[in-house]
Structure 1
Amino acid sequence: MPRKEVPPMPPLDGSIQYLKGVGPSFAKKFEKLGITTVRDLLLHYPRRYIDYSQPYTVASAPYDVDCCVRATVLQKEPDRRIRGGRVLTRVLAADDSGTLNLSWFNASYAAQNLEIGETYYFEGRVGGTLTRREILHPLVRTQAQVSLSPLLPVYGATEGLPSGRISRCVEAALPAAADLPDPLPPELLTRYRMPPKSEAVRAIHAPHSTEEAAAARRRLIFEELYILQLGIFLLRSHGRRAAGAPMRPLDLEPFWRSLPYEPTGAQRRATQEITADLCRNTPMNRLLQGDVGSGKTLVAAAAIWYAAQNGWQSALLAPTEILARQHAATLADRLEPFGVNVTLLVGGMKAAERRVALAAIEDGRAGLVVGTHAVLTDKVVFKNLGLAIVDEQHRFGVRQRGVLVGKARSPHLLVMSATPIPRTLGLLLYGDLDISVLDELPPGRKPIKTWFITGRKRRDMYGYLDQQIEAGHQVYIVCPAIEENELDSGMKAVKQYYEDTACALLPHRRIGLLHGKLKPKEKDEIMQQFKEGKLDVLVSTTVIEVGVDVPNATVMVIENAERFGLSALHQLRGRVGRGAADSCCILISDNENDSVKERLHFLCHTSDGFAVARYDLEHRGPGDFFGEAQHGLPTLRVADLVQDTRTLKVAQQEAKELLTKDPNLALPEHRELSDEVERLFATAGAMN
Structure 2
Amino acid sequence: MNSELDKQITYLKGVGPKRAEMYKKIGVFTVYDLLCHYPRDYIDLTDTVPISDSALNETVAVKGTVVRKLAPARIRKGMTVYKAVFTDGTSDLTVVIYNSEYLFSQLALDGEFYLVGRITGNLIRREMSSPLVFRADTPFKVQPVYRLTEGLSQTVLRNNMKNALDSFGKYIYEPMPAHIRSDAGLCAMEYAVTNIHFPKDIHCFEQAKKRLVFDELLILQLAMAMLRSKGRSLTGYVLKEKNIDEFYKSLPFELTNCQMQAVSDCMEDMQKPFPMNRLVQGDVGSGKTAVAAAVAYFAYKNGCQSALMAPTEVLAHQHYETLKGFLEPLGVKVALLTGSLSTKEKSLVKQGLENGEYHVAVGTHALVQQNTRFKNLALVITDEQHRFGVRQRAFLAQKGSNPHKLVMSATPIPRTLAMMIYGDLDISVLNELPKGRQPIETYAVTGKLRQRAFAFVSKQLDEGRQGYVVCPVIEESEMALQDVKSYANKLSENGFDKYRIGLLHGKLPNEEKDRIMRDFKEHKIDLLVSTTVVEVGVDVPNATIILVENADRFGLSQLHQLRGRVGRGQYKSYCVLITDNVNETTKKRLKILSSTSDGFKISEEDLKLRGPGDFFGDRQHGLPKLKIADVSHDLDILRKVQKTAELIIESDPMLEKGENKGLKELVNRLFEYANADDL
Taking structure 1 as the reference length, the TM-score comes to 0.86
SS of 1:654 mapped into structure 2: helix
2:400 matched to 1:411? no
- Structure 2 contact 114–136 (Cα < 8 Å) conserved: no
Instruction: State which of 620, 630, 638 in structure 2 corresponds to 1:648.
Output: 638
Instruction: State which of 571, 590, 595 in structure 1 corresponds to 2:585.
Output: 595
2:270 matched to 1:270? no
* Cα distance in structure 2, aligned partners of 1:228 and 1:325: 37
Counterpart for residue 250 of structure 1: 242
Counterpart for residue 511 of structure 2: 521
Correspondences of 1:360-371 after superposition (within 5 Å): 360-371=352-363
Counterpart for residue 154 of structure 1: 145
Counterpart for residue 667 of structure 2: 677
2:34 matched to 1:41? yes
Q: What is the Cα deviation at residue 251 of structure 1?
A: 2.3
- One-letter amino acid matched to 1:50: I
Cα deviations across residues 24-82 of structure 1 (Å, max 9, x unaligned)? 66655544544343322321211221212112345766788765455788998968689
Counterpart for residue 468 of structure 1: 460
Q: What is the Cα deviation at residue 86 of structure 1?
A: 10
* Range moving further from structure 2, 566-575 or 526-535: 526-535
- One-letter amino acid matched to 1:155: Y
Between the aligned residues of both structures, percent identity stands at 45
Counterpart for residue 271 of structure 2: 279
Counterpart for residue 261 of structure 1: 253
Structure 1 residues 510 and 142: alpha-carbon distance in aligned structure 2, compared to 1, 3 A threshold: same
- One-letter amino acid matched to 1:202: T
Structure 1 residues 440 and 183: alpha-carbon distance in aligned structure 2, compared to 1, 3 A threshold: same
Q: What is the Cα deviation at residue 601 of structure 1?
A: 1.9
SS of 2:601 mapped into structure 1: helix
Structure 1 residues 255 and 30: alpha-carbon distance in aligned structure 2, compared to 1, 3 A threshold: farther
* Cα distance in structure 2, aligned partners of 1:537 and 1:162: 51
**RMSD of Structure 2 on Structure 1 (CA):** 3.7
Structure 1 residues 39 and 294: alpha-carbon distance in aligned structure 2, compared to 1, 3 A threshold: same
2:525 matched to 1:532? no
* Cα distance in structure 1, aligned partners of 2:371 and 2:113: 67
- Structure 2 contact 219–666 (Cα < 8 Å) conserved: yes
* Cα distance in structure 2, aligned partners of 1:219 and 1:532: 57
Long gaps (5+) in structure 2: none
Instruction: State which of 364, 371, 385 in structure 2 corresponds to 1:379.
Output: 371
Q: What is the Cα deviation at residue 105 of structure 1?
A: 8.5
- One-letter amino acid matched to 2:443: W
Instruction: State which of 334, 340, 353 in structure 2 corresponds to 1:342.
Output: 334
Q: What is the Cα deviation at residue 305 of structure 1?
A: 1.0
Cα deviations across residues 568-602 of structure 1 (Å, max 9, x unaligned)? 11111111222223222222222242122211122
Structure 1 residues 314 and 555: alpha-carbon distance in aligned structure 2, compared to 1, 3 A threshold: same
Long gaps (5+) in structure 1: 1-9
* Range moving further from structure 2, 54-63 or 182-191: 54-63
Instruction: State which of 48, 53, 58 in structure 2 corresponds to 1:55.
Output: 48
SS of 2:136 mapped into structure 1: helix
Structure 1 residues 356 and 640: alpha-carbon distance in aligned structure 2, compared to 1, 3 A threshold: same
SS of 1:440 mapped into structure 2: coil
- Structure 1 contact 225–648 (Cα < 8 Å) conserved: yes
* Cα distance in structure 1, aligned partners of 2:368 and 2:518: 24
2:533 matched to 1:543? yes
* Cα distance in structure 2, aligned partners of 1:22 and 1:511: 58
Q: What is the Cα deviation at residue 653 of structure 1?
A: 3.6
Q: What is the Cα deviation at residue 680 of structure 1?
A: 1.5
SS of 2:43 mapped into structure 1: strand
Q: What is the Cα deviation at residue 422 of structure 1?
A: 2.5
Q: What is the Cα deviation at residue 318 of structure 1?
A: 1.5
Counterpart for residue 453 of structure 1: 445
Structure 1 residues 26 and 404: alpha-carbon distance in aligned structure 2, compared to 1, 3 A threshold: farther
* Cα distance in structure 2, aligned partners of 1:534 and 1:603: 31
Instruction: State which of 216, 220, 226 in structure 2 corresponds to 1:234.
Output: 226
Q: What is the Cα deviation at residue 397 of structure 1?
A: 5.9
Correspondences of 1:132-281 after superposition (within 5 Å): 139-144=131-136, 147-157=138-148, 166-174=157-165, 175-189=167-181, 192=184, 194-243=186-235, 245-281=237-273
- One-letter amino acid matched to 2:553: R
Q: What is the Cα deviation at residue 93 of structure 1?
A: 7.5
SS of 2:37 mapped into structure 1: coil
Q: What is the Cα deviation at residue 603 of structure 1?
A: 1.2
- Structure 1 contact 343–368 (Cα < 8 Å) conserved: yes
- Structure 2 contact 544–574 (Cα < 8 Å) conserved: yes
SS of 2:49 mapped into structure 1: coil
Counterpart for residue 602 of structure 2: 612
Q: What is the Cα deviation at residue 435 of structure 1?
A: 1.6
Instruction: State which of 279, 304, 317 in structure 2 corresponds to 1:312.
Output: 304
* Cα distance in structure 1, aligned partners of 2:96 and 2:527: 47
Aligned length: 672
Q: What is the Cα deviation at residue 567 of structure 1?
A: 1.0
- Structure 1 contact 481–491 (Cα < 8 Å) conserved: yes
Q: What is the Cα deviation at residue 319 of structure 1?
A: 1.9
Instruction: State which of 434, 441, 452 in structure 2 corresponds to 1:442.
Output: 434
Q: What is the Cα deviation at residue 117 of structure 1?
A: 8.6
Instruction: State which of 608, 611, 619 in structure 2 corresponds to 1:629.
Output: 619
- Structure 2 contact 117–132 (Cα < 8 Å) conserved: no
* Range moving further from structure 2, 587-596 or 33-42: 33-42
* Cα distance in structure 2, aligned partners of 1:195 and 1:154: 23
Cα deviations across residues 523-565 of structure 1 (Å, max 9, x unaligned)? 2233333333333333322222113222232222222222222
Cα deviations across residues 122-163 of structure 1 (Å, max 9, x unaligned)? 54567899x589899664223426x33222222334567666
Structure 1 residues 310 and 192: alpha-carbon distance in aligned structure 2, compared to 1, 3 A threshold: closer
* Cα distance in structure 2, aligned partners of 1:604 and 1:639: 32
* Cα distance in structure 2, aligned partners of 1:531 and 1:656: 47
Structure 1 residues 353 and 191: alpha-carbon distance in aligned structure 2, compared to 1, 3 A threshold: same
